[in-house]
């Protein structure tokens, strides 16, 4: 079973920041938080991952709480092309393979 809990759906206005929450209260000390997204009819796309420090790349920022029991993915200026299902996944850095996907959050960016 997935180790994360996400809201099933969210809306965001185009140009505004999209903040996607994820709860992972049972995360262990050596597990990372990964975010992927899946745009309709495409394979999942890697976005970002982190252990305990906040991370930022060209796509998004990842904010992890100090107790590591939850995190937030931030898309700073959402566009219509960011409409997708966003998956938060917890796993070992050298987990040797399988990602356990939950149901994710369906983000709709509206004009």
Q: Is 96 a binder of other proteins (CB under 8 A)? A: yes
Distance CA 22, CA 14 (A): 22
Q: Which of 8, 29, 40, 43 binds other proteins (CB under 8 A)?
A: 43
Told to check if 97 binds other proteins by CB under 8 A, we report: yes
3-state DSSP assignment of residue 16: coil
Binding other proteins by CB under 8 A: which of 53, 58, 94, 111?
A: 94
| Cβ 47 to other proteins shortest distance, Å | 9
**Nearer of residues 43 and 111 to other proteins, judged by Cβ:** 43
DSSP 17-86: -EEEEEE-TT--TTEEEEEEEE-TTS--EEEEEESSS-EE-SS-EEEE-TTSSEEEEEETT--GGG-EEE
Question: Does residue 44 bind other proteins (CB under 8 A)?
Answer: yes
Applying CB under 8 A, does 8 fall inside the site for other proteins?
A: no
- What does the binding site for other proteins look like in residue numbers (CB under 8 A)? 2, 34, 41-46, 49, 87, 93-94, 96-104
């Amino acid at each position: 079973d997935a180790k994360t809990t996400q809201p099933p759906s969210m809306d965001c206005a185009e140009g505004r920041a999209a903040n996607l929450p994820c709860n992972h209260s049972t995360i262990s000390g050596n597990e990372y938080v990964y975010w992927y997204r899946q745009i309709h009819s495409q394979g999942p796309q890697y976005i970002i991952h982190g252990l305990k420090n906040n991370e930022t790349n060209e796509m998004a920022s990842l904010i992890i709480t100090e107790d590591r029991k939850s995190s937030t993915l931030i898309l700073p200026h959402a566009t219509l092309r960011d409409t997708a299902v966003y998956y938060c996944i917890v796993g070992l850095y050298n987990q040797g393979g399988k990602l356990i996907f939950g149901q994710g959050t369906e983000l709709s960016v509206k004009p």
